[in-house]
Structure 1
Amino acid sequence: MNKEKTKDKFTFIDLFAGIGGFHIAFRNSGAKCVFVSEWNESARKTYEANFRKIDPEIFENGHFVGDITKVDPKDIPDFDILTGGFPCQPFSQAGFKKGFEDTRGTLFFNIAQIIKEKKPKAFFLENVRHLLKHDNGKTFAMIRKTIEEDLGYSFHYKIVKASDFNLPQHRPRLFMVGFRNKKIPFYFPDPVELTKTISHIFDGNAEKKVGYTLRVGGRGSGINDRRNWDSYMVDGEVKRLTPKEGKRMMGFPNNYSFPVSDSQAMKQLGNAVAVPAIQAVAEAIINSLTNYYDKRK
Structure 2
Amino acid sequence: MAIRILDMFCGMSAFRTAAEQLGGFSFVGYCDNDPTAVAAYRTLYQTEGEYFCDDARAVNTDEIPDFDLLVGGFPCVAFSAAGARKAFDDPRGTLFFELARILAAKHPAFFVFENVPPIRTICEGQVFTAILSELSRLGYLCEWQCIDGAAYLPQSRKRVFLVGYLDPRCAGEILPVERKSGKTLSELTDHQTQGKRVYDANGAAITQTASCGGFGGKTGLYLVDYNENSKFTDTARCITARQDSGMSHRKGEHSAVFFEYDGVYPIINPDRETIRQNGPRIRPNGAPAHCLTVVDRHGILHHGWIRRLHPQECFRLMGFSDEQFFKLRTELGLSDSKLYKLAGNSIMVPVLVDILSRLKAVNKKYEIIKE
Fold shared, TM-score > 0.5 on shorter chain: yes
Q: Which residue of 2 aligns with 1:43?
A: 37
Q: Residue 182 and residue 207 in structure 1: after superposition, are their counterparts in 2 closer, same or farther (change >3 A)?
A: same
Q: Residue 158 and residue 62 in structure 1: after superposition, are their counterparts in 2 closer, same or farther (change >3 A)?
A: closer
Tell me the distance in 2 between the aligned counterparts of 1:106 and 1:15.
14
- 1:234 pairs with 2:231: no
Q: How does 1:117-156 map to 2 (within 5 A)?
A: 117-148=105-136, 150-156=137-143
Q: Which residue of 1 aligns with 2:147?
A: 160
Q: Which residue of 2 aligns with 1:106?
A: 94
1:220 to 246, 253, 272: 246
- 1:23 pairs with 2:16: yes
More helix by share: 1
1:75 CA drift (Å): 1.1
Tell me the distance in 2 between the aligned counterparts of 1:21 and 1:264.
16
Bigger CA radius of gyration: 2
Give the RMSD, CA atoms, in angstroms: 2.6
Higher relative contact order (CA 8 A, sep 6+): 1
CA contact (8 A) 2:28 2:50 kept: no
Tell me the distance in 1 between the aligned counterparts of 2:45 and 2:259.
34
Tell me the distance in 2 between the aligned counterparts of 1:137 and 1:215.
25
Q: Which residue of 1 aligns with 2:53?
A: 65
Partner secondary structure for residue 158 of structure 1: strand
1:36 CA drift (Å): 0.5
Structure 2: 5+ residue stretches without partners: 79-86, 189-197, 201-206, 208-219, 224-233, 261-303
CA contact (8 A) 2:8 2:72 kept: yes
Partner secondary structure for residue 33 of structure 1: strand
Further displaced range: 177-186 or 196-205: 196-205
- 1:289 pairs with 2:363: yes
Tell me the distance in 2 between the aligned counterparts of 1:138 and 1:164.
30
1:211 CA drift (Å): 1.3
- 1:207 pairs with 2:237: no
Q: Which residue of 1 aligns with 2:288?
A: none
Q: Which runs of 4+ in 1 moved over 6 A?
A: 294-297
2:169 to 166, 183, 186: 183
Q: Which residue of 2 aligns with 1:97?
A: none
1:183 CA drift (Å): 2.5
Tell me the distance in 2 between the aligned counterparts of 1:295 and 1:72.
24
1:220 CA drift (Å): 3.2
1:173 to 153, 159, 177: 159
Q: Percent identity at matched positions?
A: 27
Q: C-alpha offsets along residues 54-112 of structure 1, whole Å, 9 cap, x if unaligned?
A: xxxx32x25232112111112111111100000245346xxxxxxxxxx9992111101
Tell me the distance in 1 between the aligned counterparts of 2:338 and 2:54.
19
Q: Which residue of 2 aligns with 1:55?
A: none
Tell me the distance in 2 between the aligned counterparts of 1:271 and 1:221.
19
Further displaced range: 170-179 or 195-204: 195-204
1:277 CA drift (Å): 0.8
Q: TM-score w.r.t. structure 1 length?
A: 0.83
More strand by share: 2
Q: TM-score w.r.t. structure 2 length?
A: 0.67
CA contact (8 A) 1:13 1:34 kept: yes
Partner secondary structure for residue 273 of structure 1: coil
1:195 CA drift (Å): 2.4
Tell me the distance in 2 between the aligned counterparts of 1:279 and 1:79.
19
1:51 CA drift (Å): 1.0
In structure 1, give the amino acid aligned to 2:161. Answer: F
CA contact (8 A) 1:220 1:231 kept: no
In structure 1, give the amino acid aligned to 2:356. Answer: A
